[in-house]
Amino acid sequence: MRAMRDVRALIVVCGFLAAGCGARGGGSTASDRGAEAAVPAADAAPSLPAAGWMTVRAGRLGTLEVERRLYERAGSELFFVRFRIVNSTGGPIGVDLRDYDTVAYPNQWGGLNEDHRTVIDEGRAVARPLDEARRADLVEAFARGELAVAAPGAAVEYFREFNASGRADVDAAGAPWLFVSLSGQIFLSDGRDAESLALDWDSADVANTDLVLATPLDWAVVPGGARVVEPDARHEPSTPAGP
């Protein structure tokens, strides 16, 4: 089986019971200006029930988690993964979802005979450096209200598709287990400083970045009104996480 990326193309052969179908993404660079302003409004509390969350990366400002479930979406032939970034601070934080190619995303999937991968054949996006220019841009973006904001103890949620496969492909794998590996990067800011939660091989390991699910899968549907990070579309900070 062969998976093809729709844009920013990458073709990866799917090896069920060993590796999987993969896709990687590039992205844009940020400006080098900084600013301070009033704190943007935080996201509304999500209303969609979760099947359970797995910690992917924990940082000083926030923790990146992935739900242990796959989603389908009306009008789409692709499958989706649900992520959230939980605020770990005593004040609001902003999550940068402006770049489709640098948020955390499903990178590869495949069937397994056991509950972990024994063969790793996967390339991942190289993490972008959190240099002074990017720090300044994130602080300024927070001040301008361009980041999705989570209040203390709350979370920003979003859905991201695997852009080469859908439910029919996944259900046809015919294996007792299924893995979905994660790649990409999340940038955060509290309006004063910034942080990166990267999923490249130098920053994260397989145990924390492989979502492993028993089959048959308990599929869910992306609800109307949920935040979906789309190709070539800017994020709207005020969009609620649930219906």
Does any domain span residue 50? yes
231 within some domain: no
| pTM summary value | 0.78
Q: Is 227 part of any domain?
A: no
Number of domains composing the chain: 1
pLDDT (average), residues 152-157: 97
Is residue 187 included in any domain, yes or no? yes
Residue 204: predicted pLDDT: 83
Q: Which residue has the higher pLDDT, 44 or 83?
A: 83
pLDDT score of 217:
97
Domain contains 117: yes
Quick check: is 31 in a domain?
no
Query: Using one digit for the tens of pLDDT, what is the confidence trace for 178-202?
Result: 999 999 999 999 999 999 999 999 8
Residue 234 inside a domain? The answer is no
Three-state DSSP at 157 gives strand
To the nearest whole number, what is the mean pLDDT of the chain?
Answer: 81
C-alpha dist (Å) from residue 17 to 14, 84, 117, 175, 211 = 9, 29, 9, 7, 15
Separation between Cα atoms, residue 94 and residue 141, nearest integer Å: 9
Residue 226 lies inside a defined structural domain of this protein: no
What gap in Å lies between CA 187 and CA 95, rounded to an integer? Answer: 6
Q: Band of the pLDDT at 5, cuts 50, 70, 90?
A: very low
Query: How much of the chain, in percent, has pLDDT values that exceed 90?
Result: 67
For residue 18, the enclosing domain spans 2-26+39-221
